[in-house]
Amino acid sequence: MATTDPDKTPSWRDPGATRERILDAALQTFSRQGYHGTRLDDIVDASETSKGAIYFHFANKERLFLALVDQFADLLERRVLEAIEGQARGMARVRVALETVLETFGRYRRPAKILLVQAVGLGNVFESKRAAVTDRFARLIEGYLREAIELGDIDPTDTEVVAYAWMGAIYGLVIRWVTTGEPEPSRIMSGLVPLLLRSVGYEGQPLAPTDSGAAS
Protein backbone atom coordinates (compact mmCIF):
# COMPACT_ATOMS: atom_id res chain seq x y z
CA MET A 1 0.00 0.00 0.00
CA ALA A 2 2.99 2.28 0.42
CA THR A 3 3.68 4.78 -2.32
CA THR A 4 6.04 7.68 -2.90
CA ASP A 5 3.13 10.11 -3.11
CA PRO A 6 2.07 11.07 0.46
CA ASP A 7 -1.33 12.22 -0.82
CA LYS A 8 -2.09 8.70 -2.01
CA THR A 9 -1.78 7.04 1.43
CA PRO A 10 -3.70 7.38 4.67
CA SER A 11 -2.45 10.33 6.69
CA TRP A 12 -0.94 8.52 9.64
CA ARG A 13 -0.05 11.83 11.26
CA ASP A 14 -3.57 13.16 10.96
CA PRO A 15 -5.98 10.35 10.06
CA GLY A 16 -8.93 12.49 11.14
CA ALA A 17 -8.15 15.05 8.44
CA THR A 18 -7.97 12.32 5.81
CA ARG A 19 -11.28 10.86 6.96
CA GLU A 20 -12.96 14.27 6.73
CA ARG A 21 -11.52 14.83 3.25
CA ILE A 22 -12.91 11.47 2.13
CA LEU A 23 -16.32 12.26 3.63
CA ASP A 24 -16.41 15.68 1.96
CA ALA A 25 -15.53 14.16 -1.40
CA ALA A 26 -18.06 11.34 -0.95
CA LEU A 27 -20.77 13.85 -0.07
CA GLN A 28 -20.20 15.80 -3.27
CA THR A 29 -19.94 12.67 -5.42
CA PHE A 30 -22.94 10.80 -3.99
CA SER A 31 -25.17 13.88 -4.16
CA ARG A 32 -24.21 14.45 -7.79
CA GLN A 33 -24.08 10.88 -9.14
CA GLY A 34 -26.23 8.89 -6.72
CA TYR A 35 -25.19 5.82 -4.75
CA HIS A 36 -25.17 3.31 -7.61
CA GLY A 37 -23.59 5.80 -10.01
CA THR A 38 -20.65 6.44 -7.70
CA ARG A 39 -17.54 4.28 -7.80
CA LEU A 40 -14.89 4.27 -5.12
CA ASP A 41 -12.48 5.46 -7.80
CA ASP A 42 -14.63 8.59 -8.17
CA ILE A 43 -14.24 9.30 -4.46
CA VAL A 44 -10.51 8.54 -4.64
CA ASP A 45 -10.13 11.14 -7.40
CA ALA A 46 -12.30 13.74 -5.64
CA SER A 47 -10.54 13.31 -2.29
CA GLU A 48 -7.04 12.97 -3.79
CA THR A 49 -6.36 9.93 -1.63
CA SER A 50 -6.34 6.23 -2.49
CA LYS A 51 -8.52 3.16 -2.13
CA GLY A 52 -6.20 2.14 0.68
CA ALA A 53 -6.94 5.37 2.48
CA ILE A 54 -10.69 4.85 2.06
CA TYR A 55 -10.54 1.24 3.26
CA PHE A 56 -8.44 2.35 6.23
CA HIS A 57 -11.42 4.39 7.45
CA PHE A 58 -14.43 2.63 5.87
CA ALA A 59 -15.01 -1.06 5.19
CA ASN A 60 -16.78 -0.42 1.87
CA LYS A 61 -18.87 2.07 -0.11
CA GLU A 62 -21.97 1.21 1.91
CA ARG A 63 -20.27 2.09 5.20
CA LEU A 64 -18.98 5.33 3.73
CA PHE A 65 -22.49 6.29 2.64
CA LEU A 66 -23.94 5.41 6.03
CA ALA A 67 -21.22 7.45 7.73
CA LEU A 68 -22.45 10.50 5.81
CA VAL A 69 -25.97 9.90 7.08
CA ASP A 70 -24.69 9.61 10.65
CA GLN A 71 -22.58 12.73 10.25
CA PHE A 72 -25.58 14.77 9.13
CA ALA A 73 -27.82 13.34 11.87
CA ASP A 74 -25.19 14.26 14.47
CA LEU A 75 -25.02 17.78 13.05
CA LEU A 76 -28.80 18.13 13.17
CA GLU A 77 -29.05 16.97 16.76
CA ARG A 78 -26.13 19.13 17.88
CA ARG A 79 -27.63 22.23 16.30
CA VAL A 80 -31.04 21.55 17.89
CA LEU A 81 -29.57 21.02 21.36
CA GLU A 82 -27.44 24.16 21.05
CA ALA A 83 -30.43 26.19 19.84
CA ILE A 84 -32.69 25.26 22.77
CA GLU A 85 -30.10 26.13 25.42
CA GLY A 86 -31.54 28.93 27.49
CA GLN A 87 -35.03 28.45 26.04
CA ALA A 88 -37.89 28.05 28.48
CA ARG A 89 -39.36 24.57 28.74
CA GLY A 90 -42.49 23.93 26.72
CA MET A 91 -43.58 25.21 23.33
CA ALA A 92 -40.64 27.60 23.08
CA ARG A 93 -38.39 24.55 22.78
CA VAL A 94 -40.76 22.83 20.38
CA ARG A 95 -40.77 25.82 18.10
CA VAL A 96 -37.00 26.36 18.21
CA ALA A 97 -36.39 22.65 17.55
CA LEU A 98 -38.62 22.76 14.45
CA GLU A 99 -37.02 25.95 13.20
CA THR A 100 -33.52 24.55 13.72
CA VAL A 101 -34.24 21.27 11.92
CA LEU A 102 -35.68 23.16 8.95
CA GLU A 103 -32.90 25.75 8.94
CA THR A 104 -30.27 23.00 8.99
CA PHE A 105 -31.89 21.10 6.13
CA GLY A 106 -32.06 24.37 4.20
CA ARG A 107 -28.43 25.19 4.84
CA TYR A 108 -27.04 21.75 4.00
CA ARG A 109 -28.66 20.70 0.77
CA ARG A 110 -26.23 17.95 -0.21
CA PRO A 111 -26.46 15.89 2.99
CA ALA A 112 -30.22 16.44 3.00
CA LYS A 113 -30.32 14.93 -0.48
CA ILE A 114 -28.17 12.00 0.66
CA LEU A 115 -30.52 11.22 3.56
CA LEU A 116 -33.90 11.89 1.98
CA VAL A 117 -33.43 11.07 -1.70
CA GLN A 118 -30.32 9.03 -2.45
CA ALA A 119 -30.87 6.54 0.39
CA VAL A 120 -34.38 5.63 -0.79
CA GLY A 121 -34.75 2.17 -2.26
CA LEU A 122 -31.17 1.06 -1.55
CA GLY A 123 -32.13 -1.90 0.60
CA ASN A 124 -32.84 -2.83 4.19
CA VAL A 125 -29.60 -1.51 5.65
CA PHE A 126 -30.22 1.96 4.24
CA GLU A 127 -33.92 1.97 5.11
CA SER A 128 -33.07 0.94 8.68
CA LYS A 129 -30.62 3.83 8.91
CA ARG A 130 -33.18 6.31 7.57
CA ALA A 131 -35.73 4.98 10.05
CA ALA A 132 -33.23 5.32 12.89
CA VAL A 133 -32.57 8.96 11.99
CA THR A 134 -36.31 9.66 11.82
CA ASP A 135 -36.84 7.94 15.20
CA ARG A 136 -34.03 9.99 16.69
CA PHE A 137 -35.60 13.34 15.84
CA ALA A 138 -39.20 12.28 16.35
CA ARG A 139 -38.31 11.25 19.90
CA LEU A 140 -36.54 14.56 20.44
CA ILE A 141 -39.61 16.54 19.34
CA GLU A 142 -41.91 14.20 21.24
CA GLY A 143 -40.03 14.93 24.45
CA TYR A 144 -40.46 18.67 24.01
CA LEU A 145 -44.15 18.21 23.23
CA ARG A 146 -44.62 16.23 26.44
CA GLU A 147 -42.97 19.06 28.37
CA ALA A 148 -45.39 21.52 26.75
CA ILE A 149 -48.37 19.38 27.79
CA GLU A 150 -47.08 19.11 31.37
CA LEU A 151 -46.74 22.90 31.52
CA GLY A 152 -50.21 23.45 30.10
CA ASP A 153 -48.97 25.14 26.91
CA ILE A 154 -51.08 22.74 24.82
CA ASP A 155 -53.83 20.23 25.50
CA PRO A 156 -52.96 16.53 25.84
CA THR A 157 -52.40 14.83 22.50
CA ASP A 158 -50.75 11.73 21.09
CA THR A 159 -47.22 13.12 21.03
CA GLU A 160 -45.77 10.13 19.19
CA VAL A 161 -48.23 10.46 16.31
CA VAL A 162 -47.72 14.23 16.18
CA ALA A 163 -43.93 13.96 16.16
CA TYR A 164 -43.86 11.44 13.31
CA ALA A 165 -46.48 13.38 11.36
CA TRP A 166 -44.35 16.50 11.71
CA MET A 167 -41.24 14.65 10.53
CA GLY A 168 -43.20 13.41 7.51
CA ALA A 169 -44.29 16.94 6.64
CA ILE A 170 -40.73 18.25 7.00
CA TYR A 171 -39.31 15.43 4.88
CA GLY A 172 -41.94 15.89 2.18
CA LEU A 173 -41.22 19.57 1.65
CA VAL A 174 -37.44 19.20 1.94
CA ILE A 175 -37.46 16.36 -0.60
CA ARG A 176 -39.36 18.55 -3.03
CA TRP A 177 -36.89 21.37 -2.47
CA VAL A 178 -33.71 19.28 -2.94
CA THR A 179 -35.10 17.76 -6.14
CA THR A 180 -36.79 20.80 -7.72
CA GLY A 181 -35.47 23.87 -5.91
CA GLU A 182 -38.98 24.82 -4.77
CA PRO A 183 -40.30 25.93 -2.37
CA GLU A 184 -37.27 27.81 -1.12
CA PRO A 185 -36.16 27.11 2.46
CA SER A 186 -37.39 30.52 3.67
CA ARG A 187 -40.89 29.70 2.39
CA ILE A 188 -40.82 26.27 4.00
CA MET A 189 -39.76 27.83 7.29
CA SER A 190 -42.31 30.63 7.36
CA GLY A 191 -45.18 28.49 6.07
CA LEU A 192 -44.65 25.14 7.76
CA VAL A 193 -43.65 25.99 11.32
CA PRO A 194 -46.82 27.98 12.19
CA LEU A 195 -48.93 25.29 10.51
CA LEU A 196 -47.37 22.54 12.61
CA LEU A 197 -47.72 24.52 15.82
CA ARG A 198 -51.38 25.25 15.10
CA SER A 199 -51.97 21.53 14.55
CA VAL A 200 -51.53 21.02 18.32
CA GLY A 201 -53.58 24.09 19.21
CA TYR A 202 -50.70 26.47 19.80
CA GLU A 203 -50.95 30.02 18.51
CA GLY A 204 -47.62 31.75 18.94
CA GLN A 205 -46.21 34.91 17.45
CA PRO A 206 -46.13 34.80 13.63
CA LEU A 207 -42.79 33.70 12.26
CA ALA A 208 -41.04 36.25 10.08
CA PRO A 209 -39.64 34.87 6.81
CA THR A 210 -35.94 34.11 7.04
CA ASP A 211 -33.23 34.23 4.41
CA SER A 212 -31.74 30.81 4.84
CA GLY A 213 -28.78 30.49 2.54
CA ALA A 214 -28.55 26.89 1.37
CA ALA A 215 -25.21 25.17 1.04
CA SER A 216 -24.99 23.18 -2.19
pLDDT tens for each residue of 124-152: 888 888 889 899 999 999 999 999 999 99
> Which DSSP state fits 183?
S
Report whether 11 contacts 17 (CB < 8 A): yes
What does the alpha-carbon distance between residue 116 and residue 194 come to, in Å, rounded to a whole number? 23
Strand partners, 38: none
Report whether 185 contacts 103 (CB < 8 A): yes
Spans of all domains in the chain: 6-11+18-57, 62-198
Do 6-11+18-57 and 62-198 share a fold?
Answer: no
Q: What is the pLDDT of residue 203?
A: 79
* Selection from 192, 148, 188, 205 nearest residue 166 by Cα: 192
Asked if omega into 183 is within 30° of 0 (cis), the reply is: yes
**Digits of tens for pLDDT over the chain (216 positions)?**
333 333 333 344 566 788 899 999 998 898 888 888 889 999 999 989 889 999 999 988 889 988 988 888 899 899 999 999 888 889 999 999 999 999 999 888 888 888 888 777 788 888 888 889 899 999 999 999 999 999 999 999 999 999 999 999 999 999 999 889 899 988 999 999 999 999 999 976 544 444 444 554
Which ranges of 61-158 would DSSP assign to H, the alpha helix? Answer: 61-84, 91-107, 109-113, 124-151
Q: What is the pLDDT of residue 8?
A: 39
User: Does the pTM of the predicted model rise above 0.85?
Assistant: no
First to last CA, the chain: 34
pLDDT in tens, 84-101: 988 888 999 999 999 999
Task: For domain 6-11+18-57, give the fold.
Answer: Arc Repressor Mutant, subunit A (1.10.10)
Q: What is the CATH number of domain 62-198?
A: 1.10.357.10
Strand partners, 108: 215
Report whether 66 contacts 30 (CB < 8 A): no
What does the alpha-carbon distance between residue 52 and residue 18 come to, in Å, rounded to a whole number? 12
